[in-house]
Structure 1
């Protein structure tokens, strides 16, 4: 086999290997990373918001929420983990969605944002995520 054919095969196999559609390992599609910091869990802004749904897709937690504002374009959002792991079965982690909202309009804006939750894994194959703002839980299985 000549060198050009060998290089061509290597390139083709490399492209095929990089184009895997495994949703369970796809973290590139998440909008933001989850912050794991007990100080920020307490101190980050806590402006009023309403969480309407939580959904896990692979290693992304999608949160649909709303708050008052003009457009929501200036909102600053963070999903923050308290760094505390509750030793239950399954283990649990406490999180909250932090919203910094300085928009002074009466419209109710809804948005969806996703967070990479790969860093929230604990020993075993699942962890229960308690989302403080929603008073709800969602099971992250991996």
Structure 2
């Protein structure tokens, strides 16, 4: 009986190890499909959400485009910034110029009630706003005093 139990335990360990190996392989393939895994969030194109959203108060500290990621550093009041919610919303409109232009808003949610001033960096994947047949677009982000040029 004890020998049978040992054999069954050995089989279970082997199956578990094999299953974990399979899951590890799946994650690597999935990372390849995602593309730029360095971005925290995807950019969403939704005209209705763009037109109806109201973001909590924040300040742009720094903006930079690195590859397909838009890196935004923002500042706002809060406790530690860990509960902040982010989204980058595109209007869907494309200004037909050269280069084309896109219009975006930062959807920022802050329920923290502390008086400290916190800065946090987030990265948004810009590939959803690429324009077919083009390799460059100008980004107009509401509340940002400058435009950004995204080359892809």
Shorter-chain TM-score: what band? 0.7 to 0.9
Q: Give the unaligned 5+ runs of structure 2.
A: 1-27, 29-34
Q: Are 2:150 and 1:136 aligned? A: no
2:117 to 105, 108, 112: 108
Q: Give the unaligned 5+ runs of structure 1.
A: 1-17, 19-25
CA deviations 1:90-126 (Å, max 9, x no partner) are: 1100001111111111111100000000111113210
Aligned-partner Cα distance in 1 for 2:49–2:43: 12
TM-score using structure 1 length: 0.78
Aligned-partner Cα distance in 1 for 2:53–2:111: 14
TM-score using structure 2 length: 0.73
RMSD, aligned α-carbons: 1.6
Deviation at 1:42, TM superposition (A): 2.3
- Structure number with higher helix proportion: 2
Deviation at 1:83, TM superposition (A): 0.6
Aligned-partner Cα distance in 2 for 1:125–1:84: 17
Count of equivalent residues: 119
Deviation at 1:54, TM superposition (A): 1.2
Larger Rg: 2
